Chain A
Amino acid sequence: MEQSQPNVGLFIPCYVDQFYPQVGKATLEILEKLNCKVSYPLDQTCCGQPLANSGYERETKESCQQFLNSFLKFDYIVAPTGSCVHHIKERYSKILNAPELQPSLNSKIFELTEFLHDILKVELQGTFRHKIGYHASCHALRGLRLSKSSEVNTAPFDKVKSLFEKVEGLEWSQLQRSDECCGFGGTFSVKEEAISLSMGKDRLADHHEAGTEILTATDMSCLMHLKGLADKKQSTLPIMHLAEIINQIIS
């Protein structure tokens, strides 16, 4: 652990705030247990990604600014989502036409497991006796490059899974298609409903065959979609956000 206590601003995406408060809590608790000084700025709103991905990026300038006002003061900004983090990191300086922002975004904002891996350099110790199905959320995978995507032929690496290397009893499901998209895609999930459902069903089937006991991901949005599908089919598929698993392990 570093000598000085990192001052972390906690960003909780809007849908996590509203529907999955336990993921927010787990994230906060993990960071606190790992000796961070964590604050949750009360004036935070949505990062603007849903609008931007729908083609209304230009309408999000003020919400980007709002985000920066709430968060730039921290040493680090950490969030339990790859998708929003990717949006903020990759697009804000362009949206605001402020290239000078980029270096501080690069050094400050992290998805939770990325922060644990890159900055806190955590090696989780403990036990978690389950077969985990890890869904590699696309924006964490190909956007933030948390692990090597199956298309690219570089040396393999996986920041997420490497956190768990020392955890006892934990087994990862071996999937037929290791990183195919779940079909959520924000408004895609309703605009292209048929394909979205078909993609989700295929992911679930892959996990089912692989013997997944608990489905997890960096992003609750993918899990919300997959869980919603599974529930509709009355199949019981426990889901846990990575933050919840990690928090259990280090408790």
Chain B
Amino acid sequence: MSHSKASTDFLRNTEHAKWHDETLWMIREKRDLASQKVPEWENLRTLASSIKEHVLSNLDQLLLEFEANATKNGIQVHWAKDAQEHNQIVLDILKKQSCAQVVKSKSILTEECHLNPFLEKNGIEVIDTDLGERIVQFLHQPPSHIVLPAIHLKKRDISELFHQKLQTEKGNEDPYYLTQAARTHLREKFLKAKVAITGVNFGIAETGEFVVCTNEGNADMGVHLADVHIACMGIEKLIPRRNDLGVFLRLLARSATGQAITNYTSHFRGPEKGKQIHLILVDNGRTEQLGREKFRNSLKCIRCGACMNTCPIYRRSGGFSYQSTVPGPIGSILSPGLDLKKYSSLPFASTLCGSCTDVCPVKINIHEQLYEWRQEITKANPNHAEILSMKLASGIFKSPLAYRISGILMRKLIKNLPDSLIYNPWNVWGKGRKLPETPQESFRNWYLNHRNNEQ
């Protein structure tokens, strides 16, 4: 389904769509306030962007340094070239532990790799322990937002769901009550789990440690109770030094939710005695993206979600309309790199307003990359009718005479045809909007009659 079709469906429920837009806008406003409290905000953005630039330019060296230091710390490092390899590595570790149930804190990477369905097919139960993720998991849905996975649902939906799944009181929508119910439910799972999976927000090459940021402390709870910790990390999540971390931590939570810092920022440096840490470094298309000069910057992303909250299209179409693991503006520049055909409508789901670029804490030129993907898509997926009309237009634009004739024709056409008969694009335009009235004469004609003495 194209993005435009999906968003039309989303907008049918006007009340819900309005609520979705307003809720996310509120988060954008919180981000504004939080970022305005940091006088050096713009410098931080520039710095973060340059650090990531350095990382991308030296990724090979830094990864080796990271691996060496992590190994020295007692972390077992694995390399996965794609989702399949990643999933297999996780499964092998679980099998070795004879583990049939695993707790997992939030990780977009494991969503990208479709780890849950893979493990479930292999007889392993996965319990997502982030509250929002647990909610969408109950519903067999993917997250609709990378920071707020269940943002498409209202309190009422969650109350009903918990009533069915966790036997909470019917109709009780009190967030505190519902959260308590989820906590009790999850606690039981935490206590039983021998293996915990987490994502990684930052890997630090210099020290071989990695950092996980959460608000609920669920990553820590899982990891500390389990014997084995599996951390899944995209290779672009690296930063060179521990000193660099502060730059990113100051930007991340403020951009994401308007908090000064996430409630938990946990550093993992090595396993406790008798326990294991496995770190899986995953490529899955990242090296390829790094090789695409116009698009490599997209790998700077720290997954704060700010570009989604600010995007007027995302807010009015919901995360599912993108049908890709990472939705919104950043998803629309990452996903075409994974499957150009499947995601070909995403770069067009934008007015190129540039709000995403201005909000992005690592200064990814998102809207310019959307423009560039459009160029790639029309080359790769030729839509012959469209090409023909574009060639026609281009012929008109490059010849002043043809241009003039077409202008005269266009004005005549619009003037004389009833709304319903006006050719295609104007037809769509005319459903929700009136066409401009056609003036007596074009500017050009007026100019010729009144001013053109000297030419």
A232 interface neighbour in B359, B434, B454, Cβ under 8 Å: B434
Taking the complex as formed, is A2 at the interface, i.e. its CB lies under 8 A from any CB of chain B? no
Q: Looking at chain A's contact residues, is the secondary structure mostly helix, strand, loop, or mixed?
A: helix
Evaluate contact between A197 and B433: CB separation under 8 angstroms. Answer: yes
Give the chain A neighbours of B396 by CB distance below 8 A: 45-46
A193 and B431 in contact (CB under 8 A), knowing A143-B354, A181-B312? yes
Interface residue A199 (Cβ < 8 Å from any Cβ of B): yes
Are A151 and B36 within 8 A (Cβ)?
A: no
Is A62 within 8 A of B353, CB to CB? no
Contact A66 B400 (CB under 8 A): yes
- For A50, the closest partner residue in chain B by CB is B393
Cβ of B445: which chain A residues have Cβ within 8 Å of it? 21
> Is the Cβ of B351 less than 8 Å from the Cβ of A181?
yes
When C-beta atoms are compared, the residue in chain A nearest to B351 turns out to be A185
User: Do A195 and B316 have beta carbons less than 8 Å apart?
Assistant: yes
A59 adjacent to B390 (CB under 8 Å): yes
Residues of B within 8 A of A16 (CB): 443
Chain A residues 186-235 with CB under 8 Å of chain B are 186-200, 202, 224-225, 227-229, 231-232
Interchain CB contact under 8 A, A46 and B397: yes
Closest-CB distance, A154 to chain B (whole angstroms): 6
**Complex contact B411–A18 (CB within 8 A):** yes
Number of A residues, CB within 8 Å of B:
77
Q: List residues of chain B with CB within 8 A of the CB of A224.
A: 436
Q: In whole angstroms, what is the CA distance A39 to B455 when docked?
A: 9
Chain A residues, CB < 8 A from B25: 177
CA A184 to CA B451, docked complex, whole Å: 33
Q: Which residues of B contact A133 (CB under 8 A)?
A: none
B interface, over-half SS? helix
Measured in the bound complex, the distance between the Cα atoms of B407 and A56 in whole Å is 21
- Determine how close the nearest CB of chain B comes to the CB of A33; give it in whole angstroms: 14
Contact A45 B351 (CB under 8 A): no
Q: Is A247 an interface residue (CB 8 A)?
A: no
Instruction: Assess the A228–B436 pair: CB atoms within 8 A.
Output: yes
Report B394 CB to chain A, min CB distance, Å. Answer: 4
CB pair A20–B354 under 8 Å, yes or no, is no
Q: Which residue from chain B places its CB closest to the CB of A40 in the assembled complex?
A: B447
Residue A51 is within 8 A (CB to CB) of chain B in the complex: yes
| Contact residues, B428-455 vs A (CB, 8 A) | 428-429, 431-439, 441-448, 451-452, 454-455
Q: Which residues of A contact B79 (CB under 8 A)?
A: none
Q: Are A40 and B407 in contact (CB under 8 A)?
A: no
Pairwise interchain contact B397-A183, C-beta atoms closer than 8 A: no
Residues in chain B near residue A22, CB distance under 8 A: 439
Q: State which of B312, B394, B433 has its C-beta within 8 Å of the C-beta of A62.
A: B394
Please measure, in the bound complex, the distance between the C-alpha atom of A25 and the C-alpha atom of B396, giving whole angstroms.
24
Tell me how many residues of B have a C-beta within 8 Å of chain A: 76
The contact of B443 among A17, A187, A195, by CB within 8 Å, is A17
B435 touches A199 (CB 8 A): no
Residues from chain A with a CB closer than 8 A to the CB of B390 are 51, 54, 56, 59
**A194-B4 contact, Cβ under 8 Å, with A59-B391, A138-B352, A199-B316:** yes
Determine if A25 and B446 form an interchain contact, defined as CB atoms under 8 angstroms apart. Answer: yes
Complex CA gap A51/B349 in Å reads 16
Shortest B49–chain A CB gap in Å is: 14
Q: How far is the CA of A50 from the CA of B392 in the complex (A)?
A: 13
Would A192 and B398 count as touching, CB distance under 8 A?
no
Q: How far is the CA of A192 from the CA of B432 in the complex (A)?
A: 12
Q: Cβ of B397 and Cβ of A40 under 8 Å apart? A: no
Q: Which of B377, B433, B454 has the largest count of A CB atoms less than 10 A from its CB? A: B433
Q: What residues on B are CB-neighbors of A12 within 8 Å?
A: 443-444
**Is the pair A191, B4 in contact by a Cβ cutoff of 8 Å?**
yes
* Interface assignment of B166: CB less than 8 Å from any CB of chain A: no
**Closest Cβ neighbor of B7 among chain A residues:** A195
Is A100 in contact with chain B by the CB < 8 A criterion? no
Alpha-carbon separation in the docked complex, A10 to B21 (Å): 40
Complex Cα spacing A198 to B429, Å: 13
List CB contacts (< 8 Å) of B85-106 with chain A. Answer: none
B266 interface residue per 8 A CB criterion:
no
> Looking at the complex, which one of A51, A179, A198 makes contact with B397 (CB distance below 8 Å)?
A51
Judge whether B357 is part of the interface by a CB distance below 8 angstroms: yes
Contact present for B436 and A19 (CB under 8 Å): yes
In the complex, chain A residues 135-161 whose Cβ is within 8 Å of any chain B Cβ: 138-139, 141-143, 149-154
**Is the beta-carbon distance between B312 and A180 smaller than 8 angstroms?**
yes
- Which single residue of chain A is at the shortest CB-CB distance from B3? A192
A54, B391: Cα distance in complex, Å: 12
Contacting pair B357 A142 (CB below 8 A): yes
Contacts of A188 in B (CB 8 A): 348, 350-351
B147 to chain A, nearest CB (A): 17
- Residues in B with CB closer than 8 Å to A154 are 42
A45 to B399, CA, bound (A): 7
Nearest-neighbor residue (CB-CB) of A90 within chain B: B368
Hey, which bits of chain A sit against chain B, CB under 8 A?
Answer: 12, 14, 16-25, 28, 39-40, 42-46, 48, 50-60, 62-63, 65-66, 138-139, 141-143, 149-154, 177, 179-181, 183-200, 202, 224-225, 227-229, 231-232
The contact sample of 17 A-B pairs, CB cut-off 8 A, is A20-B439, A21-B445, A45-B400, A54-B374, A60-B397, A63-B397, A183-B312, A185-B353, A186-B351, A187-B348, A189-B429, A195-B11, A196-B351, A202-B21, A227-B434, A229-B433, A232-B433
**Top 5 A-B residue pairs of the complex, sorted by shortest distance between their CB atoms:** A185-B351, A228-B433, A24-B443, A55-B378, A55-B374
Give 4 A-B pairs besides A14-B403, A51-B393 with Cβ atoms closer than 8 angstroms.
A19-B437, A66-B400, A189-B429, A195-B349
